[in-house]
C-alpha cells in the first residue's frame, strides 16, 4: 500500500533555506516493500542515474562516514575505504542507522545528520545539472544542483562504485 509524504518542510529543507541553497522538494508514494532507488526514480519519473542513495559506512580507522552513489550502481567497499583513509570499510547494520544519523532506511539524507560525518560523492554526479537525494524522510526527494550540495555538506568527489 502506497503512502504519501507529508508536504511540510523537513529539517533538510530548513537547513538549506537557512543557508540560501536552492533546491526543490519532490514527493513520491512510499512503498514499504520497495525502498530502493529504482522505485524512487520510477515514481518521480527521473533517470535512475540521477537518483542518488545515501549510504553510511564504518571504516576500520575513521569510524562512520557517508557515501552518496547513483541509484543504479553498487558501492565498491575497497574504493570507499581508500577514499576515506581506511584499510577496510563496511556498511553499518540497519539497526545502527537511526541512532547514528537520525534517519531511517529509505529516508537517509547526506544533510542534517545528528553529527556531521565525512561525506564522499561518486564523481558521476557532476555530469548532471541536478540530482535527487532523500530530503530526510521516505516519500520526499530533494532536487538540487550537485555542486551546491557537495559544497554545503563539505563532501569530496571520488570514484566509489563497482565498475559496470
Q: Give pLDDT tens digits along the chain (164 positions).
A: 344 444 568 999 999 999 999 999 999 999 888 888 999 999 999 999 999 999 999 999 999 999 999 999 999 999 999 999 999 999 999 999 999 999 999 999 999 999 999 999 999 999 999 999 999 999 999 999 999 999 999 999 999 999 86
Contacts of residue 119, defined as CB under 8 A and 6 or more positions apart, other chains included, come to 65, 66, 67, 68, 110, 153, 154, 155, 156
Query: CB of 30 within 8 A of CB of 3?
Result: yes
pLDDT of residue 69: 98
* Dist CA 164 CA 161 (whole Å): 9
Cα(100)–Cα(43) distance, rounded to whole angstroms? 28
pLDDT of residue 164: 64
Look up residue 69 and give its three cell numbers: 552513489
What CA–CA distance (Å, rounded) separates 153 from 146?
Answer: 11
Amino acid at each position: 500500500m502506497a503512502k504519501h509524504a507529508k508536504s511540510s518542510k523537513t529539517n533538510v529543507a530548513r537547513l538549506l533555506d537557512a543557508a540560501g541553497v536552492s533546491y526543490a522538494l519532490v514527493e513520491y508514494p512510499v512503498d514499504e516493500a520497495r525502498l530502493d532507488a529504482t522505485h524512487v526514480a520510477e515514481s518521480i519519473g527521473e533517470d535512475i542515474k540521477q537518483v542518488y542513495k545515501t549510504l553510511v559506512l564504518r571504516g576500520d580507522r575513521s569510524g562512520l562516514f557517508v557515501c552518496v552513489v547513483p541509484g543504479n550502481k553498487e558501492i565498491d567497499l575497497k574504493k570507499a575505504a581508500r577514499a576515506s583513509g581506511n584499510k577496510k570499510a563496511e556498511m553499518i547494520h540497519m539497526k545502527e542507522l537511526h541512532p547514528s544519523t537520525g534517519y531511517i532506511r529509505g529516508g537517509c539524507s547526506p544533510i542534517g545528520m545528528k553529527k556531521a560525518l565525512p561525506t564522499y560523492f561518486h564523481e558521476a554526479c557532476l555530469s548532471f545539472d541536478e540530482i535527487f537525494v532523500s530530503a530526510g524522510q521516505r516519500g520526499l526527494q530533494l532536487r538540487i544542483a550537485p555542486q551546491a550540495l557537495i559544497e554545503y555538506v563539505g563532501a569530496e568527489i571520488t570514484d566509489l562504485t563497482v565498475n559496470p
